[in-house]
Chain A
Amino acid sequence: MGKSVIGQWTWRLLFAGLLVLPKVAVAQIDPPKAVPVEAKPASKATCSVRVIHATANGNEFDARLEPLRPQLKGQAFQSFSRFSLIKQHELSIAGGASQNFEVPGEHQGVLSYEGRADSGGKQRLRLRLEIQDGAAKLLSTKFVINDGGTVMQAGMKYDKGVLVLGITCRIAS
């Protein structure tokens, strides 16, 4: 009799274990902290995309790039001495939508706002940046940044230098 009770509990525990195990496994792979809050499609993002030309010819630093001076004058760009703002695109992107912007060299930039991704008490945005050359996709990256945060992309060759994109996005009400 006692043996059968133990047997019943063993089966119950085993069954409960089977139910819990997948959740534990998922938690191991993707801990709750890392799981971003799902996109809130109602929001909208306003993004400022600065298209910057960095070259080694000259020493001018475009005054309009002052907010990015520390980054552009840092080690990552030490082989460049001249920075000029080619264009600044102001994009307003609805949740789940994309906006295109022109990238010199006949390339096309596409910035998509995939929605809010708040976590750790911070308001955050999930975005996707693509750089296209005609039908071909040269770069595609998805990232999450804090509200008002900046991400930079560089390396596209252009006119004896490189292009740098400075992307700053905010959540719009």
Chain B
Amino acid sequence: MGEPNALPNGAPSRRASDPATEEQRRAEAELVERCRGGDQRAFRILVERYQRRVFSLAFGLLKDPDEARDISQEAFLKAHRHLGSFQGTASFYTWLYRITVNLCIDRKRKVGRGSEVELDERLSHQQVGSPADVLSTQKLSFNPQRVAQSSELRGRILAALEKLSEQHRAVLILREVEGLSYKEIADSMDCPEGTVMSRLFHARRQMQELLSDFAEDAEQEGAD
């Protein structure tokens, strides 16, 4: 097939609000420095810039809006308290995501909802894609655009996410929703990039499996 691949919906490219450029990074570093100096207005800018994304991340991980709000608040408080120890080798938001992910995992463990890492974390990325464990070619039998409009579809997808381990879910959300690179996810999850790839592969593979039942349901509904 000679035609260069045009991804149907495009790969999850970096989002418009991401502070990806050097200039944005510098501006953010300045804000962080001002916060360190006790400037609450600077911290407010950071909160307002990232609160929605931190909340989405926490919501994706916890599925409960009230808990997600609590965790988001705690994450910002913790970030504020520990700004002095933030070394700045990674971006502020990666650091903030790490705090959020850790808090969410802690919260799940505390309430006994934590699921073990079901999939083999030891798989290196070289092993990913072995014949026994390959990506699905099966498309979902619903139009992804409908997801935004159908609460039932959203519920099914969130329920499928819930079945993943915390680590797999976190990696998937950081990639698909936040659009982070492997390196940024590795920084956020405090793990090697190879682990990120492995977790991402298995998370996607598992989601495809979980949603394949859903696809069959949707087909049946369509037939009815």
Direct A–B touching in the complex (beta carbon < 8 Å)?
yes
Q: What is the number of contacts between chain A and chain B, taking CB atoms within 8 Å?
A: 3
Say whether A134 contacts B190, CB under 8 Å.
yes
Q: Which residues of chain B are within 8 angstroms of A135 by Cβ–Cβ distance? A: 190
Q: Which residues of chain A are within 8 angstroms of B190 by Cβ–Cβ distance? A: 134-135
**Distance A36 CA – B37 CA, assembled complex (angstroms):** 46
The bracket for how many chain B residues form the interface is under 10
Q: Which residues of chain A are within 8 angstroms of B106 by Cβ–Cβ distance? A: 106
Q: How many residues of A contact B (CB 8 A)?
A: 3
Kindly identify, within residues 67 to 124 of chain A, every residue whose CB is under 8 Å from any CB belonging to chain B: 106
Q: Smallest CB-CB separation from A135: which chain B residue?
A: B190
Give the Cβ gap from A75 to chain B, nearest Cβ, in Å. Answer: 31
**Distance A173 CA – B25 CA, assembled complex (angstroms):** 59
Kindly identify, within residues 85 to 135 of chain B, every residue whose CB is under 8 Å from any CB belonging to chain A: 106
Q: Smallest CB-CB separation from B105: which chain A residue?
A: A106
Give the Cβ gap from A90 to chain B, nearest Cβ, in Å. Answer: 26
Give the Cβ gap from B126 to chain A, nearest Cβ, in Å. Answer: 25
Q: Smallest CB-CB separation from B106: which chain A residue?
A: A106
**Distance A106 CA – B106 CA, assembled complex (angstroms):** 9
**Distance A135 CA – B190 CA, assembled complex (angstroms):** 9
| B170-199 contact mask (Cβ, 8 Å, vs A): 1 or 0 | 000000000000000000001000000000
Give the Cβ gap from B106 to chain A, nearest Cβ, in Å. Answer: 7
**Distance A97 CA – B43 CA, assembled complex (angstroms):** 45
**Distance A106 CA – B190 CA, assembled complex (angstroms):** 15
Kindly identify, within residues 117 to 173 of chain A, every residue whose CB is under 8 Å from any CB belonging to chain B: 134-135
Q: Which residues of chain B are within 8 angstroms of A134 by Cβ–Cβ distance? A: 190
Q: Which residues of chain B are within 8 angstroms of A106 by Cβ–Cβ distance? A: 106
Kindly identify, within residues 112 to 170 of chain B, every residue whose CB is under 8 Å from any CB belonging to chain A: none
**Distance A137 CA – B106 CA, assembled complex (angstroms):** 20
Complex A-B: 3 CB contacts under 8 Å: A106-B106, A134-B190, A135-B190
Instruction: List residues of B whose CB falls within 8 A of some A CB.
Output: 106, 190
